[in-house]
Amino acid sequence: MTLPVSGALKDVGTGHGARDRMATRGPLRVPSHATALERIHTVVVEEHEDIARVVASRIAALIEEKRATGQTAVLGLATGSTPIGVYRELIRMHRDDGLSFSNVVTFNLDEYYPMAPDAIHSYHRFMWENLFTHVDIAPGNVHIPRGDVPREEVDDECQRYEAAIVDAGGIDFQILGIGKTGHIGFNEPGSGADSRTRLVHLDAVTKRDAAADFFGEEYVPKEAVTMGVATILAAREIALLGTGEHKARIIKRSVEGDINLEIAATFLQRHPKTTFYVDSAAGADLTRVATPWLLDEVEWTDDLKLRAVVWLSLTTGCAILKLTQHDYAEHKMSSLVTRSGSPGAVNGEVFNALGAKIRGKSKLPHGKRTICFSPHPDDDVISMGGILRKFVENGNEMLVAYMTSGNIAVFDHDVRRYVDFLRRLANDQARGRGTVGLLADRVEEFLAAKQPGDVDIPEVADIKRIIRESEAVAGIEVMGLSREHARFLNMPFYQTGQVQKDPIGPADIAIVKALLVEFEPEIIFVAGDLSDPHGTHRMCKEAIDGALTELYGPRGAAGEGAGARTRPEVWLYRGAWQEWSVTDATWLVPMSQEELRLKIQAIFKHQSQKDSAPFPGQDDREFWQRVDARNKDTAHLLDKLGLAEYFAMEAYVVAQE
Question: Does 24 score more than 70 pLDDT?
Answer: no
In a domain, 432, yes or no: no
Q: Is 153 exposed, middle or buried (0-12, 13-18, 19+ CB in 10 A)?
A: exposed
Q: What pLDDT is stored for residue 10 in this prediction?
A: 39
Confidence of residue 612 (pLDDT cuts 50, 70, 90): low
Closest among 573, 571, 496, 507 to 534, alpha carbons compared: 496
Average pLDDT (51-67) is 97
Residue 536 makes CB contacts below 8 A (sequence gap 6+) with 375, 376, 404, 494, 501
Q: Do residue 190 and residue 337 come from a single domain?
A: no
Average pLDDT (488-508) is 87
In a domain, 21, yes or no: no
Q: Do residue 568 and residue 514 come from a single domain?
A: yes
Name the DSSP class of 148: -
Q: Do residue 82 and residue 101 come from a single domain?
A: yes
In a domain, 469, yes or no: no
In a domain, 643, yes or no: yes
Q: Do residue 620 and residue 539 come from a single domain?
A: yes
Q: Is 80 exposed, middle or buried (0-12, 13-18, 19+ CB in 10 A)?
A: middle
Q: What pLDDT is stored for residue 20 in this prediction?
A: 35
Q: Which of 165-179, 412-426, 491-505, 515-529 is predicted least confidently? A: 491-505
Over residues 312-363, the pLDDT tens digits come to 999 999 999 999 999 999 999 999 999 999 999 999 999 999 999 999 999 9
CB 177, CB 187: distance < 8 Å: no
Q: Is 106 exposed, middle or buried (0-12, 13-18, 19+ CB in 10 A)?
A: buried
Active-site entry in 46, 47, 111, 188: 188
Q: What is the CA radius of gyration of the chain?
A: 26
Identify whether 477 is a catalytic site residue.
no
Q: Do residue 179 and residue 314 come from a single domain?
A: no
Name the DSSP class of 51: H
CA distances from 603 to 382, 464, 472, 613, 624 (A): 6, 18, 9, 12, 6
3-state secondary structure of 275: strand
In a domain, 454, yes or no: no
Question: Does 8 score more than 90 pLDDT?
Answer: no
Average pLDDT (19-35) is 44
Over residues 254-264, the pLDDT tens digits come to 999 999 999 99
Distance CA 437, CA 396 (A): 45
DSSP structure string for 508-561: HHHHHHHHHHHH--SEEEEE--TT-TTSHHHHHHHHHHHHHHHHH-STTS--TT
Q: What pLDDT is stored for residue 23 in this prediction?
A: 33
Q: Do residue 350 and residue 203 come from a single domain?
A: no
Q: Please tell me the pTM assigned to this model.
A: 0.84
Over residues 553-596, the pLDDT tens digits come to 887 554 444 455 789 999 999 977 788 999 999 999 999 999 99
CATH code, domain with 135: 3.40.50.1360
Q: What pLDDT is stored for residue 26 in this prediction?
A: 34
Question: Does 305 score more than 50 pLDDT?
Answer: yes
Confidence of residue 279 (pLDDT cuts 50, 70, 90): very high
Q: What pLDDT is stored for residue 531 in this prediction?
A: 63
Distance CA 652, CA 198 (A): 47
In a domain, 6, yes or no: no
DSSP structure string for 451-476: -TTPPPPHHHHHHHHHHHHHHHHHHH
Higher pLDDT, 610 or 596: 596
Over residues 84-104, the pLDDT tens digits come to 999 999 999 999 999 999 999
Q: What pLDDT is stored for residue 420 in this prediction?
A: 92
Could you list the residue range(s) of the whole structural domain that residue 522 is in? 366-407+484-654
Q: Do residue 489 and residue 525 come from a single domain?
A: yes
Name 653's bridge partners.
572
CB 228, CB 187: distance < 8 Å: yes
Question: Does 451 score more than 90 pLDDT?
Answer: no
Over residues 218-233, the pLDDT tens digits come to 888 999 999 999 999 9
In a domain, 450, yes or no: no
What is the tally of structural domains in the chain? 3
3-state secondary structure of 225: strand
CB 651, CB 583: distance < 8 Å: no
CB 161, CB 145: distance < 8 Å: yes
In a domain, 462, yes or no: no
CATH code, domain with 609: 3.40.50.10320
CA distances from 474 to 90, 439, 467, 483, 484 (A): 44, 25, 11, 8, 12
Q: Do residue 68 and residue 204 come from a single domain?
A: yes
CB 209, CB 79: distance < 8 Å: no
Higher pLDDT, 636 or 50: 636
Q: Do residue 560 and residue 611 come from a single domain?
A: yes
Q: Do residue 227 and residue 352 come from a single domain?
A: no
Q: What pLDDT is stored for residue 2 in this prediction?
A: 32
Q: Do residue 381 and residue 352 come from a single domain?
A: no
Q: Do residue 122 and residue 155 come from a single domain?
A: yes
Q: What pLDDT is stored for residue 586 in this prediction?
A: 97
Asked if the bond preceding 145 is cis, omega within 30° of 0, the reply is no
Tell me the backbone φ, ψ of residue 411, rounded to 5 degrees. Answer: -70, 150
Distance CA 373, CA 384 (A): 11
Tell me the backbone φ, ψ of residue 571, rounded to 5 degrees. Answer: -105, 120
Distance CA 371, CA 461 (A): 27
Name 523's bridge partners.
370, 569
Closest among 403, 652, 396 to 546, alpha carbons compared: 403
CA distances from 208 to 203, 254, 425, 610 (A): 9, 21, 39, 18
Name 648's bridge partners.
591
CB 241, CB 214: distance < 8 Å: no
Q: What pLDDT is stored for residue 426 in this prediction?
A: 86
Confidence of residue 430 (pLDDT cuts 50, 70, 90): low
| Mean of all residue pLDDT scores within the chain | 89
Over residues 100-131, the pLDDT tens digits come to 999 999 999 999 999 999 988 899 999 999 99
Q: Is 156 exposed, middle or buried (0-12, 13-18, 19+ CB in 10 A)?
A: exposed
CB 277, CB 45: distance < 8 Å: yes
3-state secondary structure of 176: strand
Tell me the backbone φ, ψ of residue 330, rounded to 5 degrees. Answer: -65, -20
Read off the amino acid at residue 4.
P
Q: What pLDDT is stored for residue 13 in this prediction?
A: 37
Distance CA 245, CA 249 (A): 8
